[in-house]
Structure 1
C-alpha cells in the first residue's frame, strides 16, 4: 500500500474517532445543558406562567433524537393571578400531560452554526390537554402595546424553528370555561391531530397560507355527546373532521335534540314554547376561513351543505303561552343582529324533511304538517354590510313535497338592509288530493276534508313587519268538508251531517271557477298580529287567500261560526228536520251585509 493511502486512512480514522468522541461527550454533557435550556425557554417565553417537568430525557446527538417521558406543562396559578392584576393575563391557559414526547432527526450542527432548528417529526404519546378559558375585559380593549409574537419569544435562541410533521394520537381534550367562579366544560376522547410544516421565523406570521404557523392541521374527533347548559337539549355527532389546508369541516350524524321525551319536555317547561329537533346525516362547510373563525370569530365559507336530515318543531297548547312582540324578529332580521359576522356564499339543502306538530288543548290530539324531501339553496347568506351594499338580498329557492304529496316550489327574497323587514315570497303547489291535509285539520280544528282535488296553487307576495300583501290563486274542484262531533272515548268519530251539508251547499264554493264559472282570485292585504312569528304570519296570509278563493268572506266566516252554534241548539230543541234546516238557512241569509264583489263571493 502506498504511503499516501495509509495517511488518508489514518486521517479518516482520526476524524471518526474525533467525531465519535465529540458525540459521546455531548451525549453525556449536553443533557444537563439541554434540560436547563428547555426549562428556561418555556419559563421565559411564557413570562413565568408555565413550568416544564419530566421524569427522563434520552438524548442521542448522533441521530438527532430526543425522548422525554412523563412530560408535564404546568401553569402557575399565582403568576396568573399577578398577570390578571397587571392586566396582562391571557384568556386561555393550558395544562398538558404526555406519556412521552419523541423528537426525531434534528440537526445540532444547524443550531450551532446558524441557530436554525430543523426537526423531521414530533410525536406526542397519549396527550392530556386541559384548556381553561377565562374572559378578561382588558383583553377586549385595544392595547397601545403590541403583543409579543412567538418568534419574538424565541429569537434570542433560534433564528428559525421548522418542524416537518407533528402527530398527536389518542388525545384526551378537556375545555373548561370559567365565569363568575363557576366552571362549565366539554370533554373529548380519542382525538387524532396531524400537523404539517410548522415554521416560526420573522416572516411566517405574515404568511397567509399558514394558520398558527402551520401549513396544515388535520383533526379527527370520534363520537361526541354534550348536554347543553339549559338542561333541556343536547348536541351529538358521530364524527368531526377538520382540515385547514383543504379548508373543510365535516360533521356526520349531527343532532341537536331534547334530552327527554316530548311530554316530559313540555311538562318541565310548563309553557307552550317550540320544541326543536335538528338532525343531519351530513353537515359540511367548504372553503371555511379558519383563521378568521379562530382569530376574529367570523364564519366565512363558500358553501354549507345540509344533507339527509329532519327539522321537527312542536308546540303544545295545553300549556300557557306568554305572548311576546315578534316584530323585528324575522329570520333575516335575526341574522343581522348577530354579534359575529357570517358570510356564506351558498347553503345547499338536500333531502331534508320539515315537520310542524301541534297538540290541541281543545280536542286533545296532535296534528302535523310536513314538507318532505326539501331541496334547494340559499344564497348571499350574510350580515356583512360591505357585501350587502353590493347586493342587499338574501335569496332562497326551495322545493318539497307538501304532506309527501303535492310538489311545492317557493322562492324567497329578504332585504337584509330594510328597516321594516321587507321580504318577498312566491311559489306554486302542484296537483294533489286535498284530503292529505286532514292530518292537521282533524286534530286541531275538528274538521275534515271529505274530498277535494287541488289542481294548482300559485302565490306572489310581499311583506314587512306589519302586513303581507299580494295575489293568491287556487284552482280546485269537488271540495267537500265535514264538521265533526267531539269524539267520545272508545267510539268512532261522527260528523255533523246537517251542518256539513249546509256549509258545503251554501257557505263554500266547491270549485274554482265556481258553478257560475266565476274565477275567484285572492287579493291579500293581511295585517300582522305583532305576537305572531314570521312563519305564522306567512301562513295566515296564505290562509286568507284560501278563504277568499273558496268564497268564504270574513262576513260568511263569522256567520258560519255563529249559525253553526245556533243549528246545534236547534237539533236539540226540535224533532223536525225541516224546522232545523229552515232556522239554519234563515240565519245565513239575513240581509244585513252590503253587496259583495266577485272577490268576496
Structure 2
C-alpha cells in the first residue's frame, strides 16, 4: 500500500541524467523502480551499467582512463526521505543495500596531460547538490570485482571474489572532516573478501589472498593465506623470465593491530602499532651463474621496495612466529640442487618506516631460528631505510653443529662431501648494500675431514682421491684453532651479480667466511 512504480517517470530521468552527465559514455538500465513515501522504502531491480566503447574512442584525450560496467540484481533503500532531498537539499537514508554486484573495471593508458591534482573533501564535491548527507548504513553483499589493466602490452586481470562491506553512520557536511571520531566520514567500516588475485606487470607472478577482514572500529586488519606466487614452476620461470632467481612466499596469518587510517585520505599516511606474522614458508631458488655481467641492473632488496611504497607506512613493531625459509641453489655443472633451511623462525622487527622525516632511519630486526633443523641460530639485522643503495648489516651466532647435516648442500654445490666435522661456534658480522658485502667471522670447529668429488653419470659423484688427500693434508685446516695456535678469523667479501636475491647474497657471504676460515692461504 502506498508503493509507487516510478520507472516510466523517474526511471527515464535517471537514465537521461546518467547518459548526459557522463558525456554520453554510460547507459543505465533497470527492470523495476518502486518507492513508498510513507515507509521510505525504495527498490531497483536488474540494474545494468554499460559503457559505450565507440563513444570513448570519440572522446579521445578527454576520455576517462578507468571504465566501469556491471550488473546488480537489486538495490534496496530504507528510510529514504524524498521530500527533504527535493526541498531542503538534505539527503537522509536509513540504509542502502547493494546485493551481488558483478563489477567490471577496465584501466586504459592515461591520455590526459599531467596536471596538479586539487584535493577536495567529499563535501566540496557534493555541496552543489546536497547541503547534508546522512546515511545510517551502506552495505554491499557478495560482490565480484574484475579489473582488466590495459596500460601495458601484457593485459593484467585483478580478480576479487565474495567481497562484502559495510559503512555505518555516514555523515557528510561542512564540518564532517573535522570529526575525529569518524574515519572517511563514517563511524565504522568493515570489509570482508574471500579471494584476491593481483598479477604483476609481466604476468610472471601474482599476489594472492584467501581472506581479508578489516574493521576500522577495532582498528584491526586480518589477512589469511597471503602469497607471492610465481606463475610457473621454478625452472620454467627461470627460462621464461630470464631471471636466475625465483621466490615463492606464503604467510598463513597476518594481523595488523592499532591500524590508523585517518590520515590516508589527504596525506597518504598509515600508522600501525603491531603486525603479527604467524606461520609461513619462503622458498627462494637460484641458478648459480657467475658469467653474468657485473654492471647490470640489480633487483631492489626488500627494504628498498618498502621505501618505494606509494604511501607512508609506519609500523612500530612486527612479531614473527613459526616461519620457515628454504634456500635452494642449482649448480649447472652437476645439474643438482643443494639447499640450506631455517626452521621455526621467530623474532621482532622494530621501527619499520618509509617516512623520510622520521627521527631514526634505522630499522632493527632480531630473529631466532633452527638452522637445518638441528642448531640454534641468533641473527640481528639493521636496515637503513633512507639509503638509496640499500645499506644493511647482519650479525649472527650459530651454536654447535655436526657438519654432516650439510652433506646435501656441499655435494651438489661445492663438489665436496663432509666425512667428519663439528662446529663448536660460528660468529660473524658483515655490512652490505645492493652491490657488495664485507666483514669477518670466527668459525670454531674441530675434526674436519672432507672428500673432493667429481660428477659421475652412473654413481652421481666419484671421489677424487688425490685431491681429497691434498685438501685434508695440505690445503685445509683440520681445526680452528689448531693446537697451540691462535684463533683464525675468516674474511667476508662478496660482490653481487644482477639477478641474485637477498637470501642468495646472505648465504654466499657466509659461505665466503667458511672457506676463508678453513682453507690455508
Whether TM exceeds 0.5 here: the answer is yes
In the alignment, what sits opposite 2:488?
521
Q: Are 1:41 and 1:154, in contact at CA under 8 Å, matched by a contact in 2?
A: no
Count of aligned positions:
520
In the alignment, what sits opposite 1:587?
none
Q: Are 2:68 and 2:104, in contact at CA under 8 Å, matched by a contact in 1?
A: yes
Query: Aligned-pair distance for 1:309?
Result: 1.0
Query: Aligned-pair distance for 1:235?
Result: 3.7
In the alignment, what sits opposite 2:410?
441
Whether 1:504 and 2:482 are equivalent positions in the alignment is no
In the alignment, what sits opposite 1:237?
209
Partners of 1:218 and 1:520 in 2: CA distance: 61
Partners of 1:422 and 1:320 in 2: CA distance: 25
Query: How do residues 476-487 of structure 1 correspond to structure 2 at under 5 angstroms?
Result: 476-487=445-456
Query: Aligned-pair distance for 1:367?
Result: 0.8
Query: Aligned-pair distance for 1:172?
Result: 2.3
Structure 1 residue runs without a partner (length 5+): 1-22, 555-601
Whether 1:218 and 2:155 are equivalent positions in the alignment is no
SS of the residue aligned with 1:486? strand
Match of 1:122 among 96, 110, 114: 96
Partners of 1:290 and 1:29 in 2: CA distance: 42
Post-superposition Cα deviations, 1:317-355, rounded to whole Å, max 9, x if no partner, equal 489755544679554445445565443332332211111
Query: How do residues 58-69 of structure 1 correspond to structure 2 at under 5 angstroms?
Result: 58-69=34-45
In the alignment, what sits opposite 1:350?
321
Query: How do residues 209-288 of structure 1 correspond to structure 2 at under 5 angstroms?
Result: 209-225=181-197, 228-269=200-241, 271=242, 273-288=244-259
Pick the structure with more helix per residue: 1
SS of the residue aligned with 1:265? helix
SS of the residue aligned with 1:381? strand
With over 3 angstroms needed to count, the CA separation of the structure-2 counterparts of 1:484 and 1:261, relative to structure 1, is: same
Query: Aligned-pair distance for 1:64?
Result: 1.6
Query: Aligned-pair distance for 1:377?
Result: 2.3
Match of 2:148 among 176, 200, 205: 176
Q: Are 2:40 and 2:79, in contact at CA under 8 Å, matched by a contact in 1?
A: yes
The higher radius of gyration belongs to 1
With over 3 angstroms needed to count, the CA separation of the structure-2 counterparts of 1:28 and 1:220, relative to structure 1, is: closer
Whether 1:304 and 2:278 are equivalent positions in the alignment is no
Query: Aligned-pair distance for 1:302?
Result: 3.3
Partners of 2:390 and 2:196 in 1: CA distance: 38
In the alignment, what sits opposite 1:94?
68
Match of 2:343 among 372, 377, 381: 372
Post-superposition Cα deviations, 1:141-196, rounded to whole Å, max 9, x if no partner, equal 215xx577654565455432211112222222222334379854323333222221
In the alignment, what sits opposite 2:443?
474
Q: Are 2:442 and 2:490, in contact at CA under 8 Å, matched by a contact in 1?
A: no
In the alignment, what sits opposite 2:425?
456
Partners of 1:29 and 1:312 in 2: CA distance: 60
In the alignment, what sits opposite 1:395?
364
Post-superposition Cα deviations, 1:114-134, rounded to whole Å, max 9, x if no partner, equal 543322222223222223334
Q: Which protein has greater RCO, CA pairs closer than 8 Å, 6+ apart?
A: 2
Query: Aligned-pair distance for 1:522?
Result: 0.9
Q: Are 1:522 and 1:544, in contact at CA under 8 Å, matched by a contact in 2?
A: no
Pick the structure with more strand per residue: 2
Query: Aligned-pair distance for 1:433?
Result: 0.8
Mean Cα deviation higher: 101-110 or 452-461: 101-110
Q: Are 2:490 and 2:514, in contact at CA under 8 Å, matched by a contact in 1?
A: no
Partners of 1:200 and 1:76 in 2: CA distance: 32
Query: Aligned-pair distance for 1:370?
Result: 0.9
Partners of 1:138 and 1:211 in 2: CA distance: 32
Q: Are 2:4 and 2:34, in contact at CA under 8 Å, matched by a contact in 1?
A: no
Whether 1:383 and 2:354 are equivalent positions in the alignment is yes
In the alignment, what sits opposite 1:362?
333
Partners of 1:72 and 1:527 in 2: CA distance: 61
SS of the residue aligned with 2:376? strand
SS of the residue aligned with 1:142? coil
In the alignment, what sits opposite 2:379?
410
Whether 1:193 and 2:165 are equivalent positions in the alignment is yes
Partners of 1:207 and 1:278 in 2: CA distance: 41
Query: How do residues 316-331 of structure 1 correspond to structure 2 at under 5 angstroms?
Result: 316-317=287-288, 321=292, 323-325=294-296, 329-331=300-302
With over 3 angstroms needed to count, the CA separation of the structure-2 counterparts of 1:309 and 1:61, relative to structure 1, is: same
With over 3 angstroms needed to count, the CA separation of the structure-2 counterparts of 1:335 and 1:274, relative to structure 1, is: same
Query: Aligned-pair distance for 1:50?
Result: 5.1
Let me know the Cα RMSD of the aligned residues: 3.7
Structure 2 residue runs without a partner (length 5+): none
Partners of 1:327 and 1:266 in 2: CA distance: 16
Partners of 2:481 and 2:343 in 1: CA distance: 30
In the alignment, what sits opposite 1:313?
284
With over 3 angstroms needed to count, the CA separation of the structure-2 counterparts of 1:59 and 1:373, relative to structure 1, is: same
SS of the residue aligned with 1:67? strand
